Structure formats: structure tokens, C-alpha cells
Chains A and B, each alone.
Chain A
Amino acid sequence: MNALLLIDFGSTYTKLTAVDMKKEEIIANTKSLTTVQSDIMIGFQNAYHQIKEKCKDIYFDEILACSSAAGGLKMVAVGLVPELTAEAAKRAALGAGSRVLGVYSHELTQREIKAMIQQTPDIILLAGGTDGGNKDCIIHNAKMIAKYIKNVPVVVSGNIKASDEIEEIFKENHIYYEITDNVMPKLNKLNVEPAREAIRQIFMKKIVEAKGMKSAESMINGILMPTPAAVLNAAKILADGTNTEEGIGDLIVIDIGGATTDIHSIAEGEPTKPGVMKIGLEEPYAKRTVEGDLGMRVSAESLCHSVSSKKIMKFVPNTKYNIEERCKYLTQNVNEIPNTLEEIEFDEALSMVATEVAMERHVGVIEDVYTPMGKIYSQVGKDLLDAKYVIGTGGVLVHSKNPSKILRAGLYNEENPRYLKPTDPKLLIDKDYILSSMGLMAEKYPDIAIRILKKNLSNV
């Protein structure tokens, strides 16, 4: 039997998914610990043997992979005004599936350059100025990067009128760079796609090799993108559909992990209520936010600090645990798997808090503005009240007996009506962990990917 093999080199597990392309079905899923320290292929081979055992007569025509191993794709974003081009650059980097380690604005100083070097980014995204706008800042920053940081690839996505000068600076100093369209060509207009694509190209060309994963490339047909970008890709194709296959409409993906909670939304987010003024920077249609302080294990302690134990208590009123101590314990024991009823309850409470807070940070906010003409409303961010679907993924949701309870924590709440969270969406669960692999597959076979997604995401 001929099949397609999809690999996700995750931070902890290397996950393999085999797809029968004729029947458009998932044949098997296997996983094994990621072995990036020694040779990434050892972990892959372990999982590969398992899959060969499960289906004996299988032959793979094509092997595609995504990766978040070795710390994932780490980036810093540089812009001019913090609320404008710096924010736009941050959003582009997040949309490309990276972890954003730092956001810098205005003219870079030596001190900031030092901090940037310590963060050891894989790629720098350099923005600043609208097209035809400010040039001085981005040129200064290009000079600083060329002078002090030589070995990090740079994606330049700022004022296009500055590109000649920047090209000269980078060529002279032998910097690996890619110049692409501005993340903010006009004021408050966001244009993140060209930067995302440039980041993905560099990820494929340079980063995979730098992370000791070159050995994987001899066997497989390329590591195409970082895993989070694959998840966003899957969400986008499922929402929009293709030329031949219908999409399911506006949706949100909630991904609760050990270290972060990611929210992806595919929606325009225009105001749904009359008389609301939209203000601020334009929102990306496919938007990803990452909450580095909200997670089930590595970030359990920071979750407790960020949201107060009182809020966690709200979801487990009768727990025997001291909330702070339990969170600290989980951070120190990242491989802890909950067994007893109390442990499971506590994990669920953490995931509900993570969902609630991560959604509050992702969605738009309505604010009252009192004017001499009476009260009016302003909206900053996306209005997701009418989003049709909320899809859950990540260990805690997939293994939970009660995933809808966790997802519901992220829905509209009358106690906090300012947050424009979905009011009555259908809830789906990615029970076989296929979102990232389908996002990957959608690069080449979008129609099949979307049909498999529709079949395999289950209602809860």
C-alpha cells in the first residue's frame, strides 16, 4: 500500500502520522521521544519501526516534516513605534510559528544589542517605518545588527524606501538577509504574509541545519515549517476551504501545552454590534498569540503568579492542595501524569484558567467612551462573538474525559462582557493530534487535508 508519512519533530515527542491517500484516511499514529541531543533520526527510527509494525505492507511515497525541536524557532522583532511597526513585526513573527523572545523599538542601543545576543535568536525580523515614511531608524538598526550580530539571519520587512541602503550595509558585512514587503506599508495596515513566507524559507534553508537536523533531510523530503505554523495552516485551510472543497467558517484553535498556551483565530473580527468604532492597529486574519506564562507544567508556576491562586481556586473550590505548592511541584516535575481524581481535577482547573486568560488576551475588547453626545463604544482587537467553531488540541484537552468543560472556560462570560469571546460555538476536539500534520499536508494536498480534518475532528 502506498502512503504519505507526516512527521512532527516536537519538543518532547516525535510524532508520526501515516495517511492513505486513496481512501483519504489516517492509517496509524505513533510517537517516540525526540532525540535532538544525539541524532534526531534515532527517535524518528523508533517511531518509524512502530508504524511499520502496525501496518506491515506499507510503503511511503513521500515524507514531509515540521519541527519545533531544539527549542523551536526563536525570534526577536525590531520596529520603530512600540504600538505600530514593532507590534506588527511581533505579530508577523508569531504568525510564522516562532517564539518571540523580545520586541525592540526605536533606535537600538548597544545595551539592547547585548540583550538580543543573549537571547540567541534564530532569526531577527527587522521592521520600522511605513513605506515612504521614517528611514533613519531602520537604517540605524541595520547598521547596529551588522556591526555587532554577524551570524543571525535577518528578515527585513520595513520601509521599502530604505531597502537599498540596508542591502548595501548587509552585503558589506556578509549578513544573511532577505528583503521582503513591509509589515506595515501604510499606517495601521498590516501585511504579515510576505514576512511569514520569508521566515519560513530561512527556517527551511538555515535553521534546520543549525539545529543538528540536517541528517533528517537525507531521508525525508524536507522539513517544511515550524510546527505552530503548521497548526495555523491547518486552521486556515479548514476555515477557508479550497477551490473545490467548502470550508467550515470562522474558527478558533486552543492549544494548551506544558510551556505555553497558544490561541489561533481565523476570522476578520469586524464589529458584530452596531455603533461600535474600531480603533488601533489592523488585526491579522489568521492570528496566533502565544502565552509563555500559561502552561500545564514548565509554566505552571508562572501561571499561578500571573493569575493569582484565587482564580484557580474558582475552578477547584474543594481541592486538598495548596495551589501555589502544587503549581511549583508541577513545574519541577514536568513529566507528571495525573492519576488520582484530585490530580486530574487540579490539572483541569489549570487548563481552564489557562484557556480563560489566554482567550482574554487574544480576543478584542470593547470599551465605553463617554462623549458629550452620550456613550459610544470602541473596539480594540478582533470581535469573535460569532465564531462558529472552537477546536481544542494539546495533551490535557485530548486526554480529558470532559474536554468541553475546559473549552467552555474560554467562551463569552456575562460577568466580563468586555471580552469579545465566542458566545455559542460548536466545540471540537483534535483527538488524534492531527492538526499539525494536516497543516503540513495542506501545503501539497489541501483538498485531502481538509476532508480528513472534517472527518477526524470530533464533536464534544
Chain B
Amino acid sequence: MKKKIVLGVIGADCHAVGNKVLDFALTEAGFEVVNIGVLSSQEDFINAAIETDASAIIVSSLYGHGEIDCRGLREKCEEAGLKDILLYAGGNLVVGKQDWEPVRKRFQEMGFDRVYPPGTPPEVDIEHLKEDLKI
């Protein structure tokens, strides 16, 4: 059976283009994409993952407030019974030009399995998904 991936843009962020590109690329790669679209809250991601029994949540953020929006997502997932779900995040996750390594570290400490800098091609996270989901 196809693995289900919940995809969406978190917070008060309405950047829809990257979301569509990812949706297309992940579907092409053989995943079943549950795209909750823009303006999505943490609860929207979690509810979608529960109902659809998804294997991973991919959070996009383009407007620089991703760090604030993503804080606590892992804890809420655990609270909601989504124990082993993969959490990925990517985009312009933080404000301004910051060194990438500390940003990655902060997101990993927040419980994200993979973190992607701006401009990462979809092929990279598809590769990682296959690796992490052992397919």
C-alpha cells in the first residue's frame, strides 16, 4: 500500500506554489499525498495524520516564522498518539540570513527528523523519505 504523507504550509503563511510543487513531486514518486494546503495550524497537521494513518508530516514555511510555528509540534504529536511519525520541515524557516547548521540543530532539538534549507530540490527529501520509511 502507498505510504501517506501529510503536507502543508504552517502558520499565517499563504505561499501556495512550493506546496503544489512538492505535492506533484511526492505523488510522482509514489506517495499518497494528503495536502492540507496553506494557513494550516499544528492541530490541522496532527488531525490529518490521525485520520489518514500517515507515516510522515512535511511542514513547509516560507515567511520566516517557521521556528515559532513549529515549536511544540513533536510534543503534540506524542500527546495525540502519533508516536513514531516522521517530521520533516523545510523552506525559509528562520528570519534573515542565519548560518544553516545552528538552525538545523535547533529544529532537530525540537524533534524534527529532517530539516531542509531554502532551495532544496524535492528529490532530496523523496530520497530521505524512502530511506526513513524503508521502501
Chain A residues close to B by CB (< 8 Å): 80-81, 83-85, 128-130, 132-135, 184, 186-188, 277, 279, 369-373, 376, 378
Cβ B38 vs Cβ A277 within 8 A: yes
Residue from the list B39, B51, B64 in contact with A378, Cβ < 8 A: B39
Closest 4 CB pairs of A and B: A133-B52, A371-B12, A134-B53, A133-B53
Cβ A134 vs Cβ B63 within 8 A: no
Cβ B53 vs Cβ A371 within 8 A: no
Q: Known interface pairs A371-B63, A372-B64. Does A80 touch B51 (Cβ–Cβ under 8 Å)?
A: yes
Cβ A372 vs Cβ B50 within 8 A: no
In the bound complex, residues from chain B placing their C-beta under 8 Å from that of A373 are: 14, 63
Q: Known interface pairs A188-B36, A378-B39. Does A372 touch B51 (Cβ–Cβ under 8 Å)?
A: no
Cβ A369 vs Cβ B12 within 8 A: yes
Determine the distance from Cα of A73 to Cα of B78 in the docked complex, in whole angstroms.
39
Q: Known interface pairs A277-B38, A277-B39. Does A135 touch B12 (Cβ–Cβ under 8 Å)?
A: no
Give me 29 A-to-B residue pairs in the complex whose CB atoms sit less than 8 angstroms apart, sorted by A's number. Answer: A80-B50, A81-B50, A81-B51, A83-B47, A84-B47, A84-B51, A85-B51, A129-B53, A130-B34, A132-B1, A132-B52, A132-B53, A133-B4, A133-B51, A133-B54, A134-B50, A134-B51, A134-B52, A184-B51, A187-B51, A187-B52, A279-B37, A369-B39, A371-B12, A371-B63, A372-B63, A372-B65, A373-B63, A376-B14
In the bound complex, residues from chain A placing their C-beta under 8 Å from that of B63 are: 371-373
Beyond known contacts A83-B43, A132-B52, A372-B12: 18 more, CB 8 A cutoff: A80-B50, A80-B51, A129-B51, A130-B34, A130-B51, A132-B53, A133-B4, A133-B54, A134-B52, A186-B34, A187-B48, A187-B51, A277-B38, A369-B39, A370-B12, A371-B63, A372-B64, A373-B63
Contact with A along B18-42 (1 / 0, CB 8 A): 0000000000000010101111000
Secondary structure of the A contact surface, majority rule: loop
In chain B, positions 48-69 with a C-beta closer than 8 Å to chain A are: 48, 50-54, 63-65
In the assembled complex, B113 has its CB within 8 A of some CB on chain A: no
Residue among A85, A132, A133, A277 with max Cβ neighbours from chain B (10 Å):
A133
In the bound complex, residues from chain B placing their C-beta under 8 Å from that of A133 are: 4, 51-54
- Nearest CB in chain B: distance from A104 CB, A: 15
User: Considering only CB atoms, which chain B residue lies closest to A188 in the complex?
Assistant: B36
In the bound complex, residues from chain A placing their C-beta under 8 Å from that of B39 are: 277, 279, 369, 378
Determine the distance from Cα of A401 to Cα of B14 in the docked complex, in whole angstroms.
50
Interface residues in B, total, Cβ within 8 A: 22
User: Considering only CB atoms, which chain B residue lies closest to A184 in the complex?
Assistant: B51
Determine the distance from Cα of A61 to Cα of B39 in the docked complex, in whole angstroms.
58
In the bound complex, residues from chain A placing their C-beta under 8 Å from that of B32 are: 132
In the bound complex, residues from chain A placing their C-beta under 8 Å from that of B51 are: 80-81, 84-85, 128-130, 133-134, 184, 187
In the bound complex, residues from chain A placing their C-beta under 8 Å from that of B64 are: 372
Determine the distance from Cα of A84 to Cα of B12 in the docked complex, in whole angstroms.
21
In the bound complex, residues from chain A placing their C-beta under 8 Å from that of B54 are: 133
- Nearest CB in chain A: distance from B103 CB, A: 18
Determine the distance from Cα of A113 to Cα of B63 in the docked complex, in whole angstroms.
46
Determine the distance from Cα of A169 to Cα of B24 in the docked complex, in whole angstroms.
40
User: Considering only CB atoms, which chain A residue lies closest to B35 in the complex?
Assistant: A187
Determine the distance from Cα of A134 to Cα of B12 in the docked complex, in whole angstroms.
29
Q: Known interface pairs A369-B12, A372-B64, A373-B63. Does A187 touch B50 (Cβ–Cβ under 8 Å)?
A: no
Determine the distance from Cα of A202 to Cα of B52 in the docked complex, in whole angstroms.
29
In the bound complex, residues from chain A placing their C-beta under 8 Å from that of B38 are: 277
Cβ B4 vs Cβ A81 within 8 A: no
Cβ A187 vs Cβ B12 within 8 A: no
Cβ A81 vs Cβ B14 within 8 A: no
Cβ B34 vs Cβ A187 within 8 A: yes
Cβ B50 vs Cβ A371 within 8 A: no
In the bound complex, residues from chain B placing their C-beta under 8 Å from that of A135 are: 53
Q: Known interface pairs A83-B47, A132-B1, A184-B51. Does A371 touch B14 (Cβ–Cβ under 8 Å)?
A: yes
User: Considering only CB atoms, which chain A residue lies closest to B15 in the complex?
Assistant: A373
In the bound complex, residues from chain B placing their C-beta under 8 Å from that of A372 are: 12, 63-65
In the bound complex, residues from chain A placing their C-beta under 8 Å from that of B37 are: 279
Determine the distance from Cα of A246 to Cα of B133 in the docked complex, in whole angstroms.
55
Determine the distance from Cα of A279 to Cα of B47 in the docked complex, in whole angstroms.
14
Determine the distance from Cα of A129 to Cα of B53 in the docked complex, in whole angstroms.
8
